[in-house]
Structure 1
Amino acid sequence: MNIDLVDAVRLANTNRQRHKRLLECEQELDRRAAEDNAALRKARQKLYDEALVPFREVYQRLQHVELAELAVVERPTVGDEAGTEPRQPRKVTVPPAVRVLAGGALLFAVPLVVGHAAKAIPYHAVRTFASASTGRAIKTLHGAAARNATEAWFGRAGGGGMAAGKGLLDKIEKTSASFTREVIAKWQAQELEDSQQKKARDLERREAETRMRQEEAAALHEHSKDMRRVLQDLRSELVRRLPSFTTLVEACDDFARYDSRQRAEVAAAVDLDDLAVMVMNCLITDADERLTEESGRVVADAEARLRAMETES
C-alpha cells in the first residue's frame, strides 16, 4: 500500500509540473498572438490615416470621373485582428480530498474499533464516496445494487470479485482497527491514483492540442508579418504618388479634360486604393482560428500587383 501511495503522490507532483509548463506555454502563445494582433492593427491604421484618407480627400475633388466608384473604406476597428483572441487559461479544480492527500494527510479519522463497527466504517465510506465499475457513484444506488457494488469495489481493491469483497469485509469485522485503517488508506490511495491518472490523460490531450497550436501559431506569425509588409508597401506607394496626384487635381479638377497620361495616373492611384481596401478588409483567420487560404491569395495578389506597378513606373 505504501508503494501505491508513493506512486500516486509522485504522479500528482508530475501532473502539477506538467500543468505549470502547459499553462506557461499557453500564456506565451496568447502573448505572441496579442502582439501580432496589435502590430497588424497598427499597420492598418497607418495605411488608413497616412494614405487612404489623404488620397480620398483629393480624389473627391475630381469632377466627371468615369472610373468605377471606389470601394467603401471603414476605419479599422479593434475587432479586425491578425490572429486569435488570447485564450483564457484553463482552470483545473482539484478535489479537496486529493489536495489533502497530496499534502501528506493519508488517512481519514478512523476510530480504534473492531467488530461490526469496524466493518461499518469502511463499508459506509465506500458507499458514500466510491464509484461502481460502471462509473456510477455508489451512493446513487439502493438496496441490493448498492450492496453488490460496494462488495465488488472491495473485491477489486483486493484483486478479486464480489465474493472476495464480501470476504474482505468479513475479515475487517474480525480483525483490529489497524486493518480497518489499512483498508481505508488503500482506498484513499486508489482514489488519488485514479484521479491523477485521469488528470494525466487530460494533460496529455491538452499537450497535443498545444503542440498543434504552436505549429499553427508559427505559420500565423509569418503570415501576419507578410500581411504587415504588404500594408506598409501599399502605404508607401500611395504616399509616394500622392504629391503628384494632388498637383494634378489642383491644376485641373475636371477628369474629362485629362489626357491619356493623366488618366493613367488617376487610374493607377485608384487601383492602389482598391488594392489597399482589399488587403485591409482581409482577415487572416476564420471562425475556428485557422489560417485562411483567402488571406494567402490576397497577399500574393497584392505583392504581384505592386511589383507590376514598380515595373510600369
Structure 2
Amino acid sequence: MDIDLFDAVRLANTNRQRRKRLHECERELDRRAAEDNAALRKAGQTLYDEGLVPFRDVYQRLQHVELVELAVAERPTVGDKAGTEPRQPRKITVPPAVRVLAGGAFLFAVPLVVGHAAKAGPYRAVRTFASASTGRAIKTLHGAAARNATEAWFGRGPVGAGGGGREAGRRLLDKIETTSASLTREVIAKWQAQALEDSQQKKARDLERREAETRMRQDEGSALHERSKDMQRVLQDLRSELVRKLPSFTTLVEACDDFARYDSRQRAEVAAMVDLDGLAVRVMDCPITDADERLTEESGRVVADAEARLRAMEAES
C-alpha cells in the first residue's frame, strides 16, 4: 500500500514539474512572437514614415503623369494585424500539493467503525476535501448537486469520464456500511491510492499530448522567427533605398514638375521610384502567417523577389 501511494504522489510531483516546464516554454514562445511582431510593425512604420510618405509628397506634385497610378498603401497602425501574432497563453492551473494529496490522505484519518457511521465518515470526508469531475470543490456545492458529485466520486468519476458513476459509488458506500467490519483502513487507502494514480496517469497522458504540440510549435516558431527577421531586413533595405534616391527625385521635380517634358533618363528615374514604392507596398501587405497561424509560402516568395530586385537596383546605380 505504501508503495502504491508513494508512486502516485511521485507521479503527481512529476506531472507538476512537467506543467511548470510547459508553462515556461509557452510563455517564452509567446514572448518571442510578441517581440517579432513589434519589430516587424516598427520596420513597416519606419518605411512608411521615412520612405513612402516623403516620396508621395513629392510625386503628387508631378503634372501629366503617364505612369500607372500608385497602389494605395494604408498606414500601418497599432490595431492592424501584421506579421506574427502571439498566441494567447494557455491557462494552466497548478494545484497545490495539499490538493493533490487530499484525495488519498484524508482516508487515513477515518476511524475504523461499523454500520452507518462507517459509511458516514468517508462520505463527510469526501464532501469536505474532494473535488467533482469539473474540478470544483464538492464542499462548495449544495443539495442534490453535492450528493451526486460525492456519489460519483466514490464511483471513481462519472460514467462519461470512464468511471462507474453514481451507481458504482452508492454500491461502494453500501458495501462500506454493510461490511465495514472487514473493510480495513488499508483496503480503503489502497483503493484510493489507485484512484489517485489513475488520475495522475490520465494527466500524464494529457501532458504528453501538450508536450508534442509544444515541440511542433517550437519548430514552427523558429521558422516564423527567421521569416520575420528576413522581412524586417527587406523593409529596412527598402527604406534605405527610398531615402537614398529621394534627394535626386526631389531635385528633379522641383526643377520641373511637368512629366511630359522629361527625357528618357528622367522618366526612367520616376519609373524606378514608382517601382520601388510598389515593391515596398507589396512587402508591407504580405502576411507571414495564414488564418491557422502557419508560415505562408507567399511571404517567402515576396522576400526573395524583393531581395533580388534590390540587388538589381544596387547594380544599376
Could you say which TM-score interval applies, normalised by the shorter chain? 0.7 to 0.9
Question: Which residue in the other structure is 2:312 paired with?
Answer: 308
Of 285, 288, 293, the match for 1:289: 293
Q: 1:82-231, aligned counterparts within 5 Å?
A: 82-92=83-93, 94=95, 98-101=99-102, 105-107=105-107, 109-115=109-115, 117-118=117-118, 127-129=151-153, 130=155, 131=157, 135=161, 138-140=164-166, 146=167, 172-175=179-182, 179-231=183-235
Question: Which residue in the other structure is 1:234 paired with?
Answer: 238
Q: For residue 247 of structure 1, what is the amino acid of its counterpart?
A: T
Q: For residue 251 of structure 1, what is the amino acid of its counterpart?
A: A
Match status 1:260 vs 2:264: yes
Given that residues 47 and 234 in structure 1 are in contact (C-alpha distance below 8 angstroms), is that contact kept between their aligned partners in structure 2? yes
Structure 1 residue runs without a partner (length 5+): 141-145, 155-164
- Could you report, residue by residue, the CA deviation over 1:192-228 in whole angstroms, capped at 9, with x for unpaired residues? 1121111111111111011011111111111111101
The structure-2 alpha-carbon separation of the partners of 1:40 and 1:123, relative to structure 1 and needing over 3 Å to count, comes to closer
Given that residues 127 and 138 in structure 1 are in contact (C-alpha distance below 8 angstroms), is that contact kept between their aligned partners in structure 2? no
User: May I ask how many residue pairs the two structures share in their alignment?
Assistant: 290
Q: For residue 83 of structure 1, what is the amino acid of its counterpart?
A: T
Q: For residue 66 of structure 1, what is the amino acid of its counterpart?
A: E
* CA drift at 1:188: 2.1
* CA drift at 1:73: 1.2
- Could you report, residue by residue, the CA deviation over 1:120-153 in whole angstroms, capped at 9, with x for unpaired residues? 766997844123777466554xxxxx26x765xx
The structure-2 alpha-carbon separation of the partners of 1:132 and 1:66, relative to structure 1 and needing over 3 Å to count, comes to closer
The structure-2 alpha-carbon separation of the partners of 1:121 and 1:137, relative to structure 1 and needing over 3 Å to count, comes to farther
User: Structure 1-normalised TM-score?
Assistant: 0.83
Moved more, 108-117 or 250-259: 108-117
* CA drift at 1:115: 4.8
Given that residues 8 and 196 in structure 2 are in contact (C-alpha distance below 8 angstroms), is that contact kept between their aligned partners in structure 1? yes
Q: For residue 298 of structure 2, what is the amino acid of its counterpart?
A: E
Match status 1:38 vs 2:42: no
Match status 1:10 vs 2:10: yes
- Tell me the distance in 2 between the aligned counterparts of 1:122 and 1:186: 14
- Tell me the distance in 1 between the aligned counterparts of 2:111 and 2:270: 94
Moved more, 198-207 or 57-66: 198-207
- Tell me the distance in 1 between the aligned counterparts of 2:81 and 2:283: 12
Given that residues 40 and 224 in structure 1 are in contact (C-alpha distance below 8 angstroms), is that contact kept between their aligned partners in structure 2? yes
Moved more, 106-115 or 126-135: 126-135
CA RMSD across the alignment: 2.8
- Tell me the distance in 1 between the aligned counterparts of 2:194 and 2:45: 59
Q: For residue 67 of structure 1, what is the amino acid of its counterpart?
A: L
Question: Which residue in the other structure is 1:160 paired with?
Answer: none
- Tell me the distance in 2 between the aligned counterparts of 1:108 and 1:98: 16
Given that residues 122 and 184 in structure 1 are in contact (C-alpha distance below 8 angstroms), is that contact kept between their aligned partners in structure 2? no
User: Structure 2-normalised TM-score?
Assistant: 0.82
* CA drift at 1:109: 4.6
Given that residues 31 and 86 in structure 1 are in contact (C-alpha distance below 8 angstroms), is that contact kept between their aligned partners in structure 2? no
Given that residues 29 and 214 in structure 1 are in contact (C-alpha distance below 8 angstroms), is that contact kept between their aligned partners in structure 2? yes
Q: For residue 235 of structure 2, what is the amino acid of its counterpart?
A: L
Percent identical pairs in the alignment equals: 71
Q: For residue 221 of structure 1, what is the amino acid of its counterpart?
A: H
* CA drift at 1:114: 2.4
- Tell me the distance in 2 between the aligned counterparts of 1:24 and 1:93: 13
Given that residues 43 and 232 in structure 2 are in contact (C-alpha distance below 8 angstroms), is that contact kept between their aligned partners in structure 1? yes
